[in-house]
Amino acid sequence: MASRNYMTMKPSAVIPIAQRLRMTAESDSRLSLDDAFKRHCEDHHSAVESVAAYFGEKVSQSLHSKGYRGKDVKEKSAMELACKLEVYEKICSSKVNPELLLNHMRSKLHDAEALYHFRRAYAGHLASNSLLQHVFAVVPRNPSRVAFHERNGHVLSPEFRFSYNNQGFLENQKVPFRMTPNLRELLGTVMLQGRFLPGMTTVATAVKTSMEDIDASLRLLLRDDLVAWYTSKSMAKSDGKTQELEKQLSDRVTKNVLQIQSKFGECSIRKEVAKDKSLSSVPVDQKVRDLLHEASGNETLCMMPPTFHPWL
């Protein structure tokens, strides 16, 4: 199915340097969201952190004017969401251009046909990357971690690390993957609905059907990463102690593997019965559509930390 849809994933060549540290080649066509925003700020003679500072200042002023400190916990949560949402939507409408990335690519590509082919390739690669962000609970994709090749639309994955809680279990992020205004505009509605969503479902289904074949590799991957995560937080251990640690972490590795397998299954093509009797059927990719709504919803994005730059 993935081959019929021309869905591919090309890993970058890496050179191991240390535990959880790798060196990769960097192409001249590499562009990150952070780089594009910095160029935009230079062209408009504005500071990169001005938007984040504006967001924090306006939210603080709004909360103070509404008597935030005198409210109970429930009222504080609702008030904070309302204030942040208001400021966030104002930033998106007047402070940051949602077509910043799209305009940059238009200036790089020669015509509409070239832009179409770039968008199609980028949507396919971003779909695979976004699925892995969700499944493996990858650390938040801040602008410096959102990168791709301008020439072919291949998505890069700098600092693509799994996120663990204090007990060593994979910890879900506030957003399943990054889908902020500039990424949505760069994709466009046609590619978002016709390439990105089917792409995520296609890859998830392909992985699910081959889960028995990749189960052993998946366990090794999670075991090695979890051991490296633990040892990075303590003194260097001997080989004997490392082997003992692997045995101690075996149950956590198993639970992490089960969680990943469950997520792949949820995102694959599934036929479900509609809970609402007024609906004739549920889309076979409903879970992926729910994830997209969660990742791109203003109510979710406005609650992200300023370092995430949710308005980009």
Q: To the nearest 10°, the Cα dihedral for 126, 129, 133, 134?
A: 70
Find out whether 197 and 288 touch, Cβ atoms under 8 Å: yes
E strand spans, the chain: 14-18, 21-24, 30-32, 147-149, 155-156
Find out whether 281 and 274 touch, Cβ atoms under 8 Å: yes
Other residues' Cβ atoms within 10 Å of the Cβ of residue 152: 14
pLDDT tens digits, one per residue of 126-180 = 999 999 999 999 999 999 999 999 998 999 888 888 999 988 899 999 999 999 9
Angle between helix 239-248 and 250-267 (nearest 10)? 50
Residue 237: DSSP 8-state: -
Q: What is the pLDDT of residue 136?
A: 95
HSE, CB side, 13 Å, CA atoms: give it for residue 135: 26
Q: What is the pLDDT of residue 64?
A: 84
CA dist., res. 291 & res. 134, Å (int): 9
* pLDDT at 257 > cutoff 90: yes
Q: How far is CA 100 from the centre of its chain?
A: 19
CA dist., res. 44 & res. 206, Å (int): 45
Tokens of residue 269, six digits: 């093509």
pLDDT tens digits, one per residue of 259-308 = 999 999 999 988 776 666 666 678 888 999 999 999 999 999 999 999 99
Split at pLDDT 50, 70, 90, the class of 1 is very low
Mean pLDDT check: name the lowest of 45-54, 105-114, 183-192, 206-215: 45-54
